[in-house]
């Protein structure tokens, strides 16, 4: 059975795709991608993603939320968002961190109430993100583009969480040890397109998901077909409403 790919975290509604979206979608399908989990960064994107779901109902699965950073008079912490970003330039004060945490918890509670998985941005905040989700009773979560320590990742594995990695991991070997330590049945694939592609400053797109798959296969000593099939099954287990 050909499972195809699931891109668990992409920004298909981003302005970078507006000029040639039909071509991007064609290449996405040609690459064997069956589902795009379409994430948002700001409220204004919600209608665009829902429109894309109407336009491509067999491909686009909406995943609505706000990124911890938005460009509005410069980068700033925003509320609400799904995730935590504690890098110094994003959260320079304890108050910034407290504000992020307050709304992060609020969105986790909404996810629990609606019986939805969470698709989480976590940067320089891996342990606190994982600990917070565990305390709030979250059992279905994807930690996208995860770059935390292996010890934190294993705590998340114990909680049943998943991890995804974009094509940018192919640029160097910084995350090899992390990928080696995470069991394959807790790994998903993503592109985070239009960002985090193989080459800096070049637009990434969902068709490049095979790069992530091939790299993870190399690091884990598996075939790309095995990684594709297992990660797709993982994705549909996590995002059950997107499953075909």
Cα-only R_g, the chain: 17
Domains and CATH numbers, the chain: 5-242 (3.20.20.140)
What pLDDT, on the 0 to 100 scale, is given for residue 83? 75
- Give pLDDT tens digits along the chain (244 positions): 678 999 999 999 999 999 999 999 999 999 999 999 999 888 888 899 999 999 999 999 999 876 655 433 333 333 333 777 777 656 778 887 888 888 788 888 988 999 999 999 888 788 999 999 999 999 999 999 999 999 999 999 999 999 999 999 999 899 999 999 999 999 999 999 999 999 988 999 999 999 999 999 999 999 999 999 999 999 999 998 886 5
pLDDT of residue 88: 67
Alpha helices in the chain (DSSP H): 21-30, 46-55, 94-114, 126-135, 150-158, 176-181, 209-220, 224-238
Pairing of strands 60-63, 33-39: parallel
pLDDT at 71: 37
pLDDT for 75: 39
Would you list the DSSP string of 132-163? Answer: HHHHTT---EEEET--S-HHHHHHHHHTT-EE
């Amino acid at each position: 059975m050909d499972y195809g790919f699931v891109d668990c975290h992409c920004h298909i509604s981003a302005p970078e795709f507006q000029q040639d979206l039909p071509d991007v979608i064609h290449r996405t399908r040609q690459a064997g991608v069956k589902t795009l989990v379409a994430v948002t960064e700001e409220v204004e994107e919600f209608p665009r993603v829902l429109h894309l779901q109407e336009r491509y109902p067999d491909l686009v699965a909406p995943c609505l939320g706000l990124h911890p950073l938005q460009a509005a008079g410069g980068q700033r912490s925003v509320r609400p968002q799904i995730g935590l970003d504690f890098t110094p330039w994003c959260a320079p004060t304890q108050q910034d961190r407290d504000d992020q945490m307050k709304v992060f918890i609020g969105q986790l509670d909404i996810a629990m109430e609606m019986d939805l998985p969470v698709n989480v941005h976590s940067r320089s905040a891996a342990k606190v993100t994982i600990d917070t989700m565990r305390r709030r009773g979250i059992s279905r979560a994807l930690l996208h583009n995860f770059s935390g320590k292996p010890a934190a990742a294993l705590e998340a594995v114990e909680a049943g969480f998943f991890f995804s990695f974009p094509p940018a991991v192919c640029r160097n070997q910084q995350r090899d040890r992390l990928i080696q330590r995470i069991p394959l049945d807790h790994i998903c694939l993503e592109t985070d397109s239009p960002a985090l592609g193989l080459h800096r400053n070049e637009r990434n797109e969902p068709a490049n998901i095979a790069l992530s798959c091939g790299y993870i296969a190399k690091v884990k000593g598996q075939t790309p077909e095995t990684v594709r099939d297992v990660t797709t099954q993982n994705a549909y287990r996590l995002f059950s409403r997107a499953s075909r």
